[in-house]
Chains A and B, each alone.
Chain A
């Protein structure tokens, strides 16, 4: 009886019936590769010599898949893949537009760079406890968050990246790590739970969790009043993730406790996932919320820039100092959301791209500096120029790039944002962006001058003798400095990418049509 019943059903009503083309698998590859890689690493967990080469190979494949995906999205517009062949909006889908593809590509690139640094830094115990397993899982979580087209699935990827970041933070179990991890874990868990509450409310109101379907429902205007209440929760949760003022205290309390490679990975990716989620929800899915909250976001952006710059000025520990630089970068990105039109959004996305690359570089630089000097404190540091002229050069590049000075990449997105703010007569914001740049220059210039230029402050007998800076420490830092320099000298490609990403966010109709052709 069952068999005859099944043959009568027309599956094409709810399912994709034709087979996927080979290129369609690209959509899932950047997430599937690190997940499989993490599982494989568990199988070979005792052969620790294989861990780093295997993970780097996986990340190279990820990067290739991401670039392929980006090229495809660039030429064809948003693409999607339905999991288990269930047609959207019934099943979970991955939907990739330019924004997601660009961020995913940078994720793989940063993962690669930091992994090279990690090979110089981590010890046998950390290999054995699965450092690279956590590492790959975190990359899978971040990439999944960038590529998914489903709100509940976004929450799941948040949790994937969160639990693996706990692992990376706590691995080694120094008391300082336990302290930092506890605060990081509680604060981020609360933020993610607030997001889950919003997911529940969205489902209760709209009856769907597919982003494209939600975008249709939000534009038809029949969701009613509760949109504002869950919008507040949603924005609050993502701002907490992004470490925007006044929800930033957890970041400088935790990022510096672990290895520099992990800190660099966190600084590049985790806060940007929050920013990405804000862009996705407030611009593409619920534009009405974005418009309503724009003034609030502008105030948040202004205060985040001020708080970040002041924290930067007041820090003595160079690795904690970098945490404040991350926060001040988040403030600059939020300016774009607060102004909320095409030019400002493209400036925000461009700054996010710049910030992902350079913040990783800054943490790696601080890590290399404190490893060379044997201390994190600016009081004790000094004389590094003599010992590593190469690091000096890279350091200068990264400091200038973070401060937004030419010829490095930070200049262009800031110029776009200032122009957008001027055209909207947001003069306070213009002033704060410029003051923020000035204070950042002063604070990082001081770090650079004290660390490199000044004569060594302590007798060498007080500290271990200067170690030799190995290639796997200097190459990642140099790579980032060179990428930032190249981006500053020839900005057109990545600025064009961020323009197209911003246009894709504002043009919801194309996204909706790509995901739900008949809707």
Chain B
């Protein structure tokens, strides 16, 4: 199971990187979403799988008496999901506003912050 999921994680990463290499903001954003989800899956895989036993400790003992599923990766992923989701929402609005104001979704043509042909500084007094 871990092997299969590792391959899935790798494929997701590859697609995310491919999409983020695009010039168009919307594809970059789709890449960001895929990247976030592949990381979540990676943390889940790294935490090992046991689907059978919930992590409940019997009364009168301090540690689980059998092997149990690991709850920590799920806590980590939950945090990461919330964060990546809110970032994606922000970026989506930002990209849409940028598209409205700059009139392009081609990141090569978004040159307001770094104008093309900006002067070199004065050479003499």
Contacts and interface: CB of A to CB of B under 8 A. Distances in A.
Interface of A is mostly: helix
Task: Give 3 nearest A-B pairs by CB, closest first.
Answer: A204-B46, A200-B43, A5-B59
B86 A185 contact: no
B2 to A, nearest CB: 10
A156 B73 CA distance: 15
Interface string B111-125: 111100011111001
A252 B118 CA distance: 13
Contacts of B110: 179, 182-183
Contact of B91 (A173, A186, A201): A186
Contacts of A254: 113
Given A180-B112, A186-B28, 7 more contacts: A179-B98, A182-B110, A193-B36, A256-B113, A315-B121, A379-B121, A450-B122
B121 A179 contact: no
Contacts of A256: 113
Interface of B: 20, 25, 28, 32, 35-36, 39, 42-43, 45-48, 59-60, 62, 72-73, 76, 79-80, 83-84, 86-87, 90-91, 94-95, 97-98, 101-102, 107, 110-114, 118-122, 125
Contact of B39 (A14, A180, A197, A317): A197
A125 B35 CA distance: 35
A315 B36 CA distance: 36
A366 interface: no
Interface string A88-129: 000000000000000000000000000000000000000000
Nearest to B90: A166
B43 A316 contact: no
18 contacts: A14-B62, A156-B79, A173-B101, A175-B102, A175-B112, A178-B98, A182-B98, A183-B107, A186-B28, A189-B91, A203-B73, A204-B47, A252-B114, A253-B114, A257-B113, A313-B121, A378-B122, A454-B125
B102 A178 contact: yes
Size category of the A interface is: 35 or more
B105 to A, nearest CB: 10
Contacts of B62: 9-10, 13-14
B80 A196 contact: yes
A39 interface: no
B100 to A, nearest CB: 9
Interface of B is mostly: helix
Contacts of A182: 25, 91, 94-95, 98, 107, 110
Contacts of A200: 39, 42-43, 46, 76
Given A166-B90, A178-B102, A253-B113, A203 B43 contact: yes
B13 to A, nearest CB: 9
B96 to A, nearest CB: 10
A199 B80 CA distance: 11
Contact of B118 (A5, A8, A316): A316
Contact of B83 (A8, A159, A204): A159
Contacts of A378: 121-122
Nearest to A159: B83
A363 interface: no
A297 to B, nearest CB: 25
A173 B97 contact: yes
Nearest to A166: B90
A496 interface: no
